[in-house]
Structure 1
Amino acid sequence: MYITEKKIDVRYAETDKMGVVYHANYLVWFEVGRTDFIKKAGFNYQSMEDEGLISPVLDVQVKYKQSVTYPESVIVKTWIDQYSKLKTIYAYEVIKEDGSIAATGKTTHVIIKKGSEKPVRLDRYYPEWHAKYLELSEK
């Protein structure tokens, strides 16, 4: 399985009054991991958006296992959990410095033309991206 890793230093602003990372920031970390995964696969969201396509999140699942506090660092591991021409499900693990898992999650995405709600097929718009994702999801 192809897995990328992205280090994130916890910023003080990401914590609540108890000094614990606020739960919604894990979703930001998932996005950081996902965009890093896409970049390391050889692609980027910006070129897609320049062509009038966007990739909204349809579903998010997060399981919180341990607190993360400032000034810790974490590693966000990202991989493709499921892939089809119309939908990609990314999976994530947020790993603490001691190697324990702080959170796990998944996000589900489609690609649509801006102003539309109908998904488009990745293989028709980006055949190279589709081929790479097939390869990466099979590993």
Structure 2
Amino acid sequence: MLITETDIEVRYAETDQMGVVHHSNYIIWCELGRTNLIKKLGFDYSDLEKEGILSPVININLDYKAPAHYGETVRLLTWIDHYDGLRVVYGYEIRNEDNKLCATGKSSHVCVRKDSFRPISIKKHLPIWHDEYEKHKKKD
């Protein structure tokens, strides 16, 4: 199972007046982690889009454990938690500089045709992606 690490410097704009990261920013950070993971696998979302394929989020769930603060650098771990040829579930773990767990979560995605928004089989239409996802997904 491949786990990527993405370091993120907490920006002032991501925090409230107490210097605590607003919960909505964790979702943006998860996107950074997914993009990093996909690049480590040798792919790029923009290549999918050139082929008329999008990969929307169909579900996201985050559990907040402890706050991250302005001035910290958090570490985001990302992995393929589940993959079945059609749906991809990414897993996330965010820790602060003291290695304290700030958040955990998962997001689910499918690939769709841009013109119709109809789901497609990754296994059938993106066989190279499929092979890499099978190779690097979390083993049950």
TM-score of the pair, normalised by structure 1 = 0.96
Equivalent residue, structure 2, for 1:36: 36
Aligned to 2:24: 24
Deviation at 1:60, TM superposition (A): 0.5
CA shift for structure 1 position 74: 0.5
AA matched with 2:81: D
- Structure 1 unaligned blocks of 5 or more: none
Residue in structure 2 matched with residue 114 of structure 1 by the alignment: 114
SS where residue 131 of structure 2 aligns? helix
Aligned residues: 139
Q: Does structure 1 retain, via aligned residues, the 8 Å contact 2:80–2:138?
A: no
2-structure distance, mates of 1:138, 1:76 = 17
Question: 1:117 Cα shift?
Answer: 3.3
Q: Using the aligned pairs only, state the percent identity.
A: 47
TM-score (norm 2): 0.96
Secondary structure in 2 aligned to 1:16? coil
Q: What's 1:133 paired with?
A: 133
Runs of 4+ with >6 A deviation: none
Query: Please, which runs of 5 or more residues in structure 2 have no aligned partner?
Result: none
Deviation at 1:124, TM superposition (A): 2.0
What secondary structure does 1:27 align onto? helix
> Which residue number in structure 1 is paired with residue 92 of structure 2?
92
Cα root mean square deviation, aligned = 1.0
Give the structure 1 partner of residue 8 of structure 2.
Answer: 8
Following the alignment from structure 1 to structure 2, what is the Cα–Cα distance between the partners of residues 138 and 24?
Answer: 26
